[in-house]
A = this chain, B = another copy of it.
Amino acid sequence: MLKNDLKDIGAESYEILKDLDSIPLHRGQLYETIVTTQGPAHAKNAAPMGVLCKNHSQIILYLNEGSHTSINILNNQYFIVNITQDPLLFAISTLKDMEDEYYEDYNGMPYLKNTDAFFIAHTEDIKEVVREDKFGTTIIHVITARVDEIVRINKGALPLNRGIYSVIETLIHFSRFDLADSETKDKYWNRIKELNRVAQKVGSKKDKEAMHFIIKTLKENFKDLE
């Protein structure tokens, strides 16, 4: 459907990339993106979403049952992942419905006009998982999708990954640990454990290694941490 129908996308210049490594999205890391989908009656939807890179041509999404994104992807198969670091696009797509003026069209699919790069993907496999937490029971659709085409509009495009930020914030807490009273130490330590959880879930091998190194050093210096 897509390969033979590459239209002018309206950007001044753009390149077609060959795989996710070229963006770069790295295997095993989870990126903060905005997913755009086409609903019925020309209703477009945009939602911020974590996208796990499975390998150079497949991704995994975890969708809450009943969300617009979930309904549209289950209906359509096709969706677009927008790669951007624009804080306003993330805020607006979380807080409200984006009007039509935010979108451009790529082979009948909506993408975000101001994105730095995007790729179109289609579902290959759908699994249902039941998640139970303190808020109750949620059904999650685990979507494995194949990437069909990757378009880079801005040469400086870079996907957003929370791994390095978790490391930096942990180091900031680390630097203040020595001077903190015992209540503040507890607070910092809980925060570091949460940051480590994020880094292990979304980060690179180096992010994980850095977190292990920091936590090991802290535990050597402060024996009562666990």
Which residues of A are in contact with B by a Cβ distance under 8 Å? 32, 48, 85-88, 90-92, 94-95, 135, 156, 158, 160, 162-165, 167-169, 171, 174-176, 179, 203-204, 206-207, 209-211, 213-214, 217
Given contacts A94-B174, A135-B179, A175-B94, contact A87 B217 (CB under 8 A): no
Q: Can you report 13 A-B residue pairs in the complex whose CB atoms are below 8 A from each other?
A: A87-B164, A87-B168, A87-B203, A88-B209, A90-B167, A90-B168, A91-B167, A91-B171, A91-B210, A92-B213, A94-B214, A158-B158, A160-B168
Candidates B94, B163, B168; contact of A171 at CB < 8 Å = B94
- Output the least CB separation between A17 and chain B (Å): 14
The answer to whether B90 touches A210, judged by C-beta atoms less than 8 angstroms apart, is yes
- Output the least CB separation between A51 and chain B (Å): 14
Q: From DSSP, what is the main secondary structure of chain A's interface residues?
A: helix
- Output the least CB separation between A219 and chain B (Å): 13
How many copies the complex holds: the figure is 2
Candidates B87, B91, B169, B210; contact of A88 at CB < 8 Å = B210
Identify the closest chain B residue to A155 (Cβ): B155
Chain B residues contacting A171 (CB-CB under 8 Å) are: 48, 90-91, 94
The answer to whether A206 touches B87, judged by C-beta atoms less than 8 angstroms apart, is yes
The answer to whether A95 touches B168, judged by C-beta atoms less than 8 angstroms apart, is no
Chain B residues contacting A176 (CB-CB under 8 Å) are: 135
Candidates B92, B165, B211; contact of A165 at CB < 8 Å = B165
Given contacts A94-B174, A95-B214, A214-B95, contact A87 B167 (CB under 8 A): yes
The answer to whether B95 touches A217, judged by C-beta atoms less than 8 angstroms apart, is yes
Interface centre among A91, A95, A135, A210, by most chain B C-beta atoms within 10 angstroms, is A91
